Amino acid sequence: MKLVIIFRSVLNRLNLRANFILLMVFFSFSAHSQTPVDTIDTDNGKMIIYSNRTWEYLKDLTFNGILNERIHEIISNNPNLKYVQPWDNGVCYTSGRKNDLSKLKDTLWLCVNDEDNSEFICPVKGVVTSRYGYRSGRHHSGIDLDLDIGDTVRAAWSGKVRYAKYNDGGFGNLVIIRHYNGLETFYAHLSKFLVVPDQEVKAGDVIGLGGNTGRSFGPHLHFEVRFYDAAMNPEEIIDFNLKKCKDENLFVHASLFLPGAKPTDTFKATSNNSVVVEEEVDSEPVVQPATRKYYKIRSGDTLSEIAARNKTTVSKLCQLNGISTRTTLQIGRSLRIQ
């Protein structure tokens, strides 16, 4: 740790050429598997280029993970909550799922779009194919949006990438962004990463390409909105038909985090202060594109056999699924055939 602090102190005093030399020494000392060959100053910070053409951002050692000071102060000053949300590039859930949002007794005001970060961009253009709530006996903690493999996936709001790697818990290739509004968003099943941890992004920046990785039965984006590690219904905030935020204000309370909770605007108050659900909960039904068909891979299957059985070609299968003829077919995974 002392070495890192000394390194950063010296780094701030040297010019770019000297920085590069020092980086070479530092990273060879830290036993990094690749040698840095160049550094580039970008709007998102200093980028290190390695000899194998990979790259990453030089970590800001002073960053504590707090992007919304007001919300952090409210949470940390309440001794009954004990919520944690450290900045960790290596774990999906920073609290280990221990933050209990049912203990949130007060309502917090959260400004989804403030003056400095006023823009929201819908991550993809596709329609909703599966909503937040219970699905086949399991709780679906996000919302699924239709896409093709290779489609661009964009950051919903401005913020900083906390996590960008393969997740073996079912998400596949997963990007997590922490935002200035106090939320985190998850983008799962990607085919390719276009960002790295600690990179700053603006709303609408391309962060990856759509895919079918992880526990996925056909290409789609699994999108989650979380507050201190707890998932809420994304439709509480976003109108996915209009591709825009419903309101710049979000009132955070414990009932938002109940499994299967419907968006607040699907309820109406009655004269005795109770609530009832509106008859028309969804303005538009969940859509599963009728032109798409999938095949579940079985033991012994080959691409040529699957293509012949479904009256298509190997090249078409590869194009639809973003794979090559050399890709290993995983038993149980779904291939799009139409």
Best mean pLDDT range from 1-5, 30-34, 36-40, 104-108: 104-108
DSSP per-residue letters across 22-68: HHHHHHHHTT-SS-EEEEEEETTEEEEEETTS-EEEPP-TT--S-S-
Cα gap 155→185, rounded to integer Å: 8
SS3 label, residue 4? helix
pLDDT score for 208? 97
Length of the chain (residues): 338
Greater model confidence, 50 or 301: 301
Q: What is the pLDDT of residues 199-217, one digit of tens each?
A: 999 999 999 999 999 998 8
pLDDT score for 286? 52
Q: Are 173 and 189 in contact (CB under 8 A)?
A: yes
pLDDT score for 329? 80
pTM of the full structure: 0.71
CATH architecture of the domain covering 63-289: Distorted Sandwich (2.70)
- Kindly report which listed range (111-115, 121-125, 137-141, 261-265) carries the lowest average pLDDT score: 111-115
- Kindly report which listed range (15-19, 65-69, 303-307, 334-338) carries the lowest average pLDDT score: 15-19
Burial of 58 (0-12, 13-18, 19+ CB in 10 A): middle
Distances (CA, A) of 294 to 59, 156, 217, 297: 42, 29, 8, 10
User: What's the mean pLDDT when you consider all of the chain?
Assistant: 81
Which residue type occupies 5? I
pLDDT(14) > 60: no
Residue 224's H or E segment, with its range, is strand 220-227
Q: What is the pLDDT of residues 161-209, one digit of tens each?
A: 999 999 999 999 999 999 999 999 999 999 999 999 999 999 999 999 9
pLDDT score for 277? 42
Residues 6 or more apart in contact with residue 69 via CB below 8 angstroms: none
With a pLDDT cut of 70, the percent of the chain lying above it is 79
Q: What is the pLDDT of residues 125-151, one digit of tens each?
A: 999 999 999 887 788 999 999 999 999
pLDDT(58) > 80: no
Which pair of tokens denotes residue 89?
């590039």
Q: What is the pLDDT of residues 268-295, one digit of tens each?
A: 444 443 434 443 344 444 554 445 677 7
Closest CA to 191 of 64, 78, 320: 320
Q: What is the pLDDT of residues 18-31, one digit of tens each?
A: 444 344 434 433 43
Fold of 294-336: Membrane-bound Lytic Murein Transglycosylase D; Chain A (3.10.350)
Rounded to an integer, the average pLDDT of 247-253 is 93
Greater model confidence, 94 or 330: 94
Burial of 160 (0-12, 13-18, 19+ CB in 10 A): buried
Greater model confidence, 129 or 54: 129
What are the structural domain ranges in the chain?
2-57, 63-289, 294-336
pLDDT(59) > 80: no
